[in-house]
Structure 1
Amino acid sequence: MAYTKADLKHDLAAMGLTGTETILIHSSMKSIGPVEGGADTVLDAWMEFFAEGLLLLPTHTWRFINEENRVFDVRRSPCCVGILPELFRQRPGVLRSLHPTHSMAAYGKGAAAYLEGELDANTPCTPGGCYDRLRAAHGKVLLLGVTHARNTFIHSVEEVLNVPNRLTDKPMQMTVVDEAGAQHNVYMRRHYNAQQPHISEDFVKLEQAYLDCGAARNTKFGDASCILCDAEGLFRVTRHVLAPNPEAFVTEPVIPPERWQGLCTGKTGG
């Protein structure tokens, strides 16, 4: 049996979501299982359910925007993070930010205001930018069929905390083409660490910490195992653990529970 749109909307409600949230969804279409109508039905379910909220999907291009290709066209540049974001960004009413490597697409209340200012960003997840402002919006992060290794919000926490050895020393000049076709020269530093080329793979070291402290909880969407997170809670737990060792993700093979147990007396709620 394939999942219907009604089934998928029911799963969102079963998570305790109301549809009024600001929510960022990182997703794996394959993990959901068979769906009547495929990816378009999944997007229909999300956009209808969050019609009174703000639905956000990452539309990153970091895999394609590099030394050989320095032009990001907000209208045409494909994203590198899956079929759902790629189809979502092309839908009527969906807006996309002007960040050349870590753009975000938005649909719903306040979408334009939420995405503004990204042309001035000079790092992947600049403090005060689209990812960081999830905290101020009391936003949620839904990891749908993926782990914290795909949780871009944690990159924004590292940038706010000024964790060392996360970015290239020198920025790269890029060109951003906006919706009207106008070109803008920008300068962007990229993610870089000499020891670990894929820093986000180490974010899973805090999976249990987020669960124990109430910043995240496990749930389901179709066949997909999901983690529903509270952005403020993720920030609080990550800051608490990284404070004594800002490079813990890279330098510590395992982060022991005693590093966060003292924080869990005041749970944040997922």
Structure 2
Amino acid sequence: MNKYDWNNAFPDTPESFKNKVSATLNSLPDKKEKDEMENVKIYKKGSTKKKFIIALVATMVIGTTVFAAGKITSITSSSSSRPTYTTIPTAEEVKKEYKFNPKLVNKFDNGYTFVNGCVVDNKGTDDKGNFAGKTKSLDFDYTKGKDELSLFMENGRLGERSEKATVIANYKGIDLYYYSYANKLEPANYKMTEQDKKDKASGKYVFSYGSDYDKEKVSQVQCLNWMEGGINYSFLGRDSNISKDELVKMAQQVISTK
């Protein structure tokens, strides 16, 4: 099981909230691996890549102004370690099984092709640890050569969109929000230097820690997010070769899907 520095993960939140998150996450069973990104706490059985993707989704929907009583301040997401789908399901199958009807794309015009997908259960809690809502979502992986992207489709949305996400396009009346940042992965017992603290405060890096990391690594994260028909869609990538313009075109293809 990975060990993380929970106590330093929420610098701008109440001490009671930090203590609640730390106690909850550290008490999870050993079979559930844990990861964290920015103002979010996530755990999920599965690969490191999958955990990272879910963390990115939560980063997109947890803004910097939601740390008030009764508002969602953390999201816990969980799924099976094995893909639910190895071929893309039909819209009818998804609607019957999960009670929502996202637009599904098997292959995008730019070559990204569906590889597998899983069902994700999301639960929101407020700063006191009280239940504050739940959703179900699909996490679909796409590849083009060695490049990977994930498309996350959530039945509704927990929390608010991050204030760092800005509108970069509007298509058929739907705003497309883009967000990117540099993520610095550090070993679990890493101690931040004074320069690290300055970089974190300035927003140069988002820091995360884990026993899977034996040395420092900086990754570039990209997110494109929009809402349509009550469904929250997010394209997510780490160190991807894709451009913002390509992500916008892929979002347009999803929106145009019947």
TM-score (norm 1): 0.29
Answer 1 or 2: which has greater helix percent: 1
Query: Normalising to structure 2: TM-score of the pair?
Result: 0.30
